[in-house]
């Protein structure tokens, strides 16, 4: 059972969209015990909040291969999920490691097309 969630956040700067706040929001977690450890799969949602909106000729997700370029991460915060699983509490930490932005495309609201690369790790805390 998921008890507590905090999104992972990365702030990047893009010449067309300005400051872009990119969030990986954990929605749900699937936990499996394997031997003495656990395997955790996360279901996440990507949320993008740009400083400036800009409508482009192409829409995100049109199955058109659009080039994305990496942008430097100006600041980032770890996210986490706390999960109760039997006698243990599992903390899953999420970190955004790379952010890619498409110059020539946006969604219908003018938000940039963003791909975020992230990784996660777990820590098991026995209760009691």
Query: pLDDT tens across 27-75, in order?
Result: 888 888 888 888 889 999 999 999 999 888 788 876 767 788 899 999 9
Q: What is the predicted pLDDT for the residue at 84?
A: 86
Site of tokens 């450890």: 37
User: Which residues have C-beta within 8 Å of that of residue 63, sequence separation ≥ 6?
Assistant: none
Confidence at 128, pLDDT banded by 50, 70, 90: low
Confidence at 103, pLDDT banded by 50, 70, 90: confident
Confidence at 108, pLDDT banded by 50, 70, 90: confident
Confidence at 118, pLDDT banded by 50, 70, 90: very high
Q: What is the predicted pLDDT for the residue at 120?
A: 93
Q: Which of 22, 8, 18 is nearest to 100 (CA)?
A: 22
- For 1-128, strand residue ranges (E) read 2-6, 8-14, 18-34, 37-50, 58-59, 68-71, 73-77, 79-85, 88-106, 112-126
Burial letters 84-115, b for 16+ CB under 10 A, else e:
eeeeebbbbebbbeebebbbebbbeeebbbbe
Q: What is the predicted pLDDT for the residue at 38?
A: 87
- Give the domain ranges of the chain: 2-126
Question: Structure tokens of 65?
Answer: 């291969």
Average pLDDT of the residues in 6-25? 95
């Amino acid at each position: 059972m998921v008890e507590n969630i905090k999104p992972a956040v990365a702030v990047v700067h893009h010449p067309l969209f300005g400051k872009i706040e990119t969030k990986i929001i954990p929605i749900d977690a699937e936990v499996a015990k394997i031997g003495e450890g656990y395997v955790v799969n996360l279901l996440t949602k990507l949320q993008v909040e740009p400083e400036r909106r800009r409508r482009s000729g192409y829409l995100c997700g049109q199955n058109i291969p659009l080039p994305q370029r990496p942008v430097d991460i100006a600041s980032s915060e770890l996210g986490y999920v706390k999960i109760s699983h039997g006698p243990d509490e599992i903390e899953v930490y999420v970190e955004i490691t790379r952010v890619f932005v498409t110059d020539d495309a946006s969604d219908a609201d003018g938000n940039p097309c963003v791909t975020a690369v992230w990784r996660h790790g777990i820590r098991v805390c026995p209760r009691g």
